[in-house]
Structure 1
Amino acid sequence: MAFSHIDCFSGPGGICTGLHAAGFDTKVAIEYIKSCVDTYAANHPSVHIIHADIRNVTAEQILPYIPEDGIDLVTSGMPCETFSTAGNTSRSFYDDRQF
């Protein structure tokens, strides 16, 4: 039986991709940024994705997707804007999100 997983601050789904390769079954993902939600949904269509600010997510939105024996792992992605080469990196040295 696969380990179960909830993916918080999921971004486009990189953590889910790695955990899926390791045998995990992601049940729920929570992400605020619409473009990330769209990418996640395209790459992981079996995962229930909640497109919302995590501070507003309720148990009623998550619990229907949780197995009776619970969840084995909850992960939280990190903001990656300061590490990405896609944006303007000249200010990344001074960006507090990297700490």
Structure 2
Amino acid sequence: MQYMVSVQNDQGHVCGGFLVSENFVVTAAHCGEVETTHVVLGTHNLKNADIKNYRLIEEKFKPKTYENIGKGSDIMLLKLSTKAEIDNSVQTIHFQRLE
């Protein structure tokens, strides 16, 4: 799944997420309880991730109603510092319109 993202800190993987546009990732708000610094795009094997697919997190957006994982609103939007390069290994997720 080319839209899957690894949200990371300096020690490695913290949470999963998905690429919704070239510069935004959606993940869980509780992932922000640990200081996350970057994401890795377009790989199923983090040990062999291409450095060109690392992106710094520029800004984090959580709902004002988020308190903790048990109380709901557990969603967070991450703005990437540079746009993702869309190619065969990196894609945005496609949402189906509900009628």
Q: TM-score, normalised by structure 1?
A: 0.25
Question: Larger Rg: 1 or 2?
Answer: 1
More helix by share: 1
Q: TM-score, normalised by structure 2?
A: 0.25
More strand by share: 2
